[in-house]
Structure 1
């Protein structure tokens, strides 16, 4: 690849803007998808397994797309940008369709398609930053991505909070028993608008980055290598990315191996938080028990079947539905708050990392996030719940930027795409483990209580912080 030149603020801004759309989509996944599953009748102990799409598609799609994009050059488009657009189209269509889910299986299927789209765009975007920026701007570039991570998820979550206030129906009881109502699916109509906004944001911002950001063209030598790769038989070409991933894992720098253990606890905990924060709020703030949920589902089923339901039962069902919507709205406010903090501190972390080192900033952020999660279940005031979100926002800004800056300095340019995919595998493998293990854990060991789930996540972050102290950031090559 030709020499890299320092880019201006606006060039880095335009290059990363598409991350806003991708993260708007992820914001909806983090906050709204699991409550939608609950509205469609899922028990909270089922939520981990219902989220299997994220880790599986991330594990398969991102490293393969990364390896393929390393060996791609489309004249007029580039190396990474074709994958942005494919992912944006898939994600936008899925977001538009998602709130129309009438059955749990349909919503779960759409989540798989949505994750395929987001993961197709995600890894090449990470690699583009490393492709374009010289080493002295890498931290700045990845923290700019963190800014857009925060911005996308913030707007997604605040839209949920505001739309619930602006557009929620007051006569919920009549909708519960109206076969023509959108409430038949259990999904409040005001949730639709956030997903429509996300569909527009995903396509629009990625298109802006594609138009505004030229990629660095390959050298004559690189073009010759790419041409030889195109002449390889299809079967061999299809298996080459998998073999390259295996080889890259075998050659993986020691720093990445150490980081993978930290990531095991860090991302396991984050997936718990995203799945169980709304169920926790339903229990800790709004006082809804598992028995209340079962009674609500029974009343709704009787009502929709045409059976006579007493006014007292209708009033009870209306109360549970309203409180559940408030819990989702409160989750939107809280998650929007921590991502707003992420926006504010993302670029401020650049001089802090330069002064104190990436490792110290990263370790500190893990402990701060752990503290935030450990105190959440004990706060009974909706406004005071926003205070731990400040700590979580600082941690999220660091998690989404600093580790990428650390690993970018120890991976070779010619394998940057595949190694960024492997870093994502280090994220999705813990998520996969969580989806298949945490349902039995909460059911059998944590008293089927979402409050205990959040405490478990806080403890996992503390373990991650201790393990991160072992990172040797002085490593410079493999």
Structure 2
């Protein structure tokens, strides 16, 4: 491949080159879609308490919080003449995730299923996180919206098929169980995960072997490694103060939760605060010893020095993904109890409702696949900020509408709005972000940006069950209403984001 620096202007790629470099997301979404649509069902079947579903799900976001910045940091510093920079991580993640997908529906006990979710989510993140940086590595700014939209297209297509697999195996291939024993995972769900494992591995490897990465030049090598000077914006004492404040807040919350005898999942919030507080405190100790080039210190310092656009988008992401996590956790419980009027996992009504939810998840991803191709045109004629506002408003309205629907067929219309929002969430924020990031830290900052996907999931998993059981008599349809309001609020926050490319276009036009 021609010698092109990641920090220089890159040549425009053809449609098929962008297609090949994005194709792996088809497989990645097979994994995520099967996980999102069926995990709560598996947990409930294995005896999990519906009130604790969010707590069981915590494995996924906690894993992402730990894995994503580490993978991003090291993928920025990886280069192999044959395998490149990001592709080794694609391949390793695909192998591990495919194995986990086979194990998940064969879990003999709830605790094994929760542990497998932990492994599966970590493995998917190993593949997924570098894919976001891949667009910034390979495409010039003028094609990045198209690149992220292409990823969203494959995410939509993959999720359409993967989410519908249980319904397809049951209704088209006739793979059903006449009688389900307590704790037995349906056969159609098992086969869905087997197909998902094969699709994940095959699609990711297509990208690995069909796409070549640009090698780093000498200048970029120096920028991303040890030769650049250290710029100290904040003193070690500042980091220590931040760490101690976070740890103090954590301690105060623990005392409050304990004295008020509140739900145990709320303590997870304390764990997140403690993690960040300890990270800042430990980084300050390294800095006091002048060990600024320590990898851990660099991760903490770069987090503290995020670009302004990234900080603004962080709030948008937080409320968007809080809504999505509410939907993924509680849609099955909400639909089966509110519309199908059943909470018995062995009943025909419950399983019909759960299969319909899988098909609905397929539907919103199908809408997302189409919307992903149209969003760049809408963004061109309005702006990326306005496009995201419109899309998130559609998604929020769709989630809120679940409460008012009694005929499950009308939920298809609700999912149209969710699909439009999903397509935008997977593309527009990343397109706005990529232009504000330094090329030599693209992978790391994309990993850090995923904090604002992971943290809202942890918050949702910690407080949603508590809110619904405390204030809404454990009627989980209200979790979807809360999610809808959160998504609309995220859309309004788009208006404060400073899109660097939008500013440059206005200046050029003037």
Task: Indicate the TM-score class for this superposition, using the shorter chain for normalisation.
Answer: 0.7 to 0.9
Q: Of residues 341, 354, 379 in structure 2, which corresponds to 1:287?
A: 341
Residue 224 of structure 1 and its aligned partner are, at CA, apart by: 6.0
2:27 to 21, 27, 45: 21
Q: CA deviation at 1:155?
A: 0.8
* Pairing partner for 1:266 from 320, 323, 329: 320
Compute the displacement of 1:217 (Å): 0.7
Name the counterpart of 1:81.
Answer: 87
CA-CA distance at 1:328 after TM superposition: 1.6
- CA separation of 1:169/1:415 partners in 2, compared to 1, >3 Å: closer, same or farther? closer
Structure 1 match to 2:405 = 379
1:415 Cα deviation (Å)? 1.1
**What is the SS of the residue equivalent to 1:217?**
coil
Aligned counterpart, 2:43: 37
**Could you give the per-residue CA deviations for residues 132-154 of structure 1, whole angstroms, max 9, x where no partner exists?**
00110000000000001101111
Residue 460 of structure 2: aligned partner: 434
Residue number in structure 1 paired with 2:431: 405
Cα contact 1:280–1:377 (8 A) shared by 2: no
**2:153 corresponds to which residue?**
147
Bigger drift between 206-215 and 184-193 goes to 184-193
Could you tell me which residue of structure 1 aligns to residue 247 of structure 2? none
Given that residues 153 and 373 in structure 2 are in contact (C-alpha distance below 8 angstroms), is that contact kept between their aligned partners in structure 1?
yes
Quote how far apart the aligned CAs of 1:163 are: 1.5
Deviation at 1:267, TM superposition (A): 0.9
User: Could you say which residue in structure 2 is the equivalent of 1:9?
Assistant: 15
Q: Counterparts of 1:22 and 1:238 in 2: how far apart (Å)?
A: 36
User: Which secondary structure does the structure 1 equivalent of 2:496 belong to?
Assistant: coil
Aligned pairs (5 A) from 1:281-430: 281-289=335-343, 293=344, 320-430=346-456
Give the corresponding residue for 1:167: 174
Q: 2:508 maps to what in 1?
A: none
Give the secondary-structure state (helix, strand or coil) at the position aligned to 1:7: coil
Alignment partner of 1:158 is 2:212: no
Aligned match of 2:480: 454
Q: Decide which of 63, 73, 76 is 1:70's aligned counterpart.
A: 76
Secondary structure (helix, strand or coil) at the match of 1:469 reads: helix
How far off its partner does 1:198 sit? 0.7
Deviations 1:170-228 (A, max 9, x none): 531xx42xxxxxxx532111101110011001110111100000000111334567786
What residue number does 2:55 align with? 49
Aligned length: 435
Deviates more, 1:188-197 or 1:322-331: 322-331
**Counterpart residue number, 2:127:** 121
- The offset of 1:260, in angstroms, is 1.5
Select which of 204, 219, 223 maps to 1:221: 219
Of the three residues 194, 197, 211, the one matched with 2:195 is 197
Deviation at 1:474, TM superposition (A): 4.3
Q: Counterpart in 1 of 2:329?
A: 275
The one of 444, 469, 473 aligned to 1:443: 469
User: TM-score when scaled to structure 1?
Assistant: 0.87
Correspondences of 1:178-189 after superposition (within 5 Å): 185-189=183-187
Distance 1:457 1:62 in 2: 25
Does the C-alpha gap of structure 1 residues 206 and 169 become closer, same or farther in structure 2, counting only changes over 3 Å?
Answer: closer
How far residue 466 of structure 1 moved from its aligned partner, in angstroms, is: 2.3
| Deviation, structure 1 residue 168 | 4.5
Task: Report the CA distance between 1:237 and its aligned residue.
Answer: 11
Task: Give the aligned partner of residue 204 of structure 2.
Answer: 206
Task: Report which stretch shifted further, 335-344 or 453-462.
Answer: 453-462
Measured in 2, the distance between the counterparts of 1:237 and 1:117 equals 31
Query: Structure 2 unaligned runs (5+)?
Result: 228-285, 505-510
What secondary structure sits across from 1:89 in the alignment? Answer: helix
In the aligned structure 2, how far is the partner of 1:13 from the partner of 1:431?
Answer: 30
Residues of 1 paired with 2:316 and 2:472: CA distance? 23
Residue 244 of structure 2 corresponds to which residue in structure 1? none
Task: Name the CA distance, whole Å, in 2 between partners of 1:266 and 1:216.
Answer: 33
Q: SS where residue 11 of structure 2 aligns?
A: coil
Q: Tell whether 2:278 aligns with 1:252.
A: no
Alpha-carbon displacement from aligned partner over 1:362-385 (angstroms, at most 9, x marks no partner): 011111111001111221222211
Contact 2:220–2:440 (CA<8 Å) still a contact in 1?
no
Task: Tell me by how many angstroms 1:169 deviates.
Answer: 3.4
On the 8 A contact 1:150/1:341 being kept in 2, the answer is: yes
Change over 3 Å in CA distance of 1:321–1:167 after alignment to 2: farther
Q: CA RMSD in A?
A: 2.1
Further displaced range: 274-283 or 2-11:
2-11
Question: What is the aligned counterpart of 1:106 among 103, 106, 112?
Answer: 112
1:87 CA drift (Å): 0.4
Q: TM-score, normalised by structure 2?
A: 0.82
Q: Distance in 2 between matches of 1:62 and 1:380?
A: 40
